[in-house]
Chain A
Amino acid sequence: MSVGSIVLVVLVLAVVGYVLGRRRALSTSAATGTRLHSLPGYYGQTVALFVAVPALLVLAAWLFAQPILIENRVRGMIPDSVIPEGGARSLVMADVRNIAGGLDAVLRRDALNEDALVNGNLDFSNVRVRLADVGVALGSDVPREVFDAAVTYRQSAKYGSIGMTVVVLAIALALGAWSLMRIKPKLRARNVSENFIQALLIASSTIAILTTVGIIFSLVFETANFFRMYPASEFFFSTVWNPQFRGGSDLGIIPLLWGTLYVSFVALLVAVPIGLMIAIYLADYAGSRLRSFAKPAIEILAGIPTIVYGLFALITVGPFLRDWIAQPMGLGNSSSSVLTAGLVMGVMIIPFVSSLSDDIINAVPQAMRDGSFALGATQSETIKKVILPAALPGIVGAILLAASRAIGETMIVVLGAGAAARLDLNPFEAMTTITVKIVSQLTGDTEFASPETLVAFALGLTLFVFTLALNVLALYIVRKYREQYE
Chain B
Amino acid sequence: MLTEAATEKALERKMSEINYKMVGKDVSVYYGDKRALFDVNLGVRNNTVTALIGPSGCGKSTFLRCLNRMNDTIANAKVTGKITLDGQDIHDPDIDVVELRARVGMVFQKPNPFPKSIYENVAYGPRIHGLARGKSDLDQIVESSLQKAGLWAEVKDRLHEAGTGLSGGQQQRLCIARAVAVSPEVILMDEPCSALDPIATAKVEELIHELRTNYSIVIVTHSMQQAARVSQRTAMFHLGHLVEEDDTDKMFTNPNDQRTQDYIMGRFG
Contact = CB atoms under 8 A, between A and B. Distances in A.
A360 to B, nearest CB: 13
Given A368-B114, A485-B115, A375 B182 contact: yes
Given A376-B182, A486-B164, A385 B124 contact: yes
Interface string A361-379: 0000101111111111110
Given A287-B75, A288-B75, A381-B128, A373 B102 contact: no
A375 B108 contact: no
Interface in A364-406: 365, 367-378, 381, 385-386, 389-390
Given A287-B75, A375-B125, A375-B128, A368 B112 contact: yes
A323 interface: no
Q: Is the interface of A mostly helix, strand, loop or mixed?
A: helix
B114 A374 contact: no
B125 A370 contact: no
Contacts of B108: 367, 370-371, 374
A484 interface: yes
Contacts of A373: 70, 73, 101
Contacts of A390: 114-115
A484 B125 contact: no
A483 interface: yes
B164 A376 contact: no
Interface string B90-111: 0000000011111001101011
A484 B164 contact: yes
A368 B108 CA distance: 11
Given A370-B70, A381-B128, A376 B101 contact: yes
Interface residues of B, number: 30
Contact of A376 (B99, B111, B112, B115): B99
A390 B75 CA distance: 23
A374 B68 CA distance: 8
B196 interface: no
Interface in B95-145: 98-102, 105-106, 108, 110-116, 124-125, 128-129
B217 interface: no
Given A371-B114, A385-B128, A376 B75 contact: no
Interface residues of A, number: 24
A371 B112 contact: yes
Interface string A285-308: 001100000000000000000000
Contacts of A376: 98-102, 125, 128-129, 182
B29 interface: no
A231 B77 CA distance: 71
Nearest to A386: B114
A483 B179 contact: no
Nearest to B101: A376
A204 B124 CA distance: 50
A389 B115 contact: yes
A207 to B, nearest CB: 40
A484 B114 CA distance: 9
A396 B179 CA distance: 31
A-B residue pairs, 10 tightest by C-beta:
A376-B102, A483-B115, A374-B106, A367-B112, A376-B101, A375-B125, A371-B112, A376-B98, A484-B164, A390-B115
14 contacts: A287-B75, A368-B114, A370-B106, A370-B108, A370-B112, A371-B113, A373-B70, A374-B101, A375-B182, A376-B100, A376-B125, A377-B124, A386-B124, A484-B164
Given A368-B112, A375-B105, 13 more contacts: A369-B73, A370-B73, A370-B106, A371-B112, A371-B175, A374-B70, A374-B106, A376-B125, A377-B125, A377-B128, A381-B128, A389-B115, A484-B164
